[in-house]
Amino acid sequence: MLSDTEVRHIATLARIGVTDAEVAKLQSDMSVVLDFFGALQAADTAGVEPVRQITGAVDHVRADVAVPAEESVSQGVASLFPAERSGKLRVPTVLS
């Protein structure tokens, strides 16, 4: 169990003010959390592969190659642009 002094020191490090009643509650709550971490440290993890992600999602990265605008933009999107020059889509000037 954490002492009053330890709880007050942690509160000072976190830059929070605590009352005597809060110190008593934090003393109990923080001790429970630390006991839980102690139980985790006692677990045998030898031979267990570290988990880097759990969703199974795969990051698909395409090659970064230049392609003409008509190949890279669907016709529906290309029709939204006012003009095209040399295979590039032109847009109105935003900043002059």
Q: How far apart are CA 84 and CA 34, in angstroms?
A: 64
pLDDT at 80: 74
Q: How far apart are CA 21 and CA 94, in angstroms?
A: 60
Tens of pLDDT, residues 63-95? 888 877 666 666 667 677 777 777 677 777 888
**Residue 10 falls inside a structural domain:** yes
Q: How far apart are CA 69 and CA 83, in angstroms?
A: 12
**Residue 35 falls inside a structural domain:** yes
The pairing of strands 88-90 and 83-85 is antiparallel
Q: What CATH number is given to the structural domain containing 23?
A: 1.10.20
Q: How far apart are CA 20 and CA 3, in angstroms?
A: 12
In the numeric block, which tokens belong to residue 59?
């990051």
> What domain range includes position 31?
4-42
Number of domains in the chain: 1
pTM of the model: 0.46
Element (H, E) at 83: strand 83-85
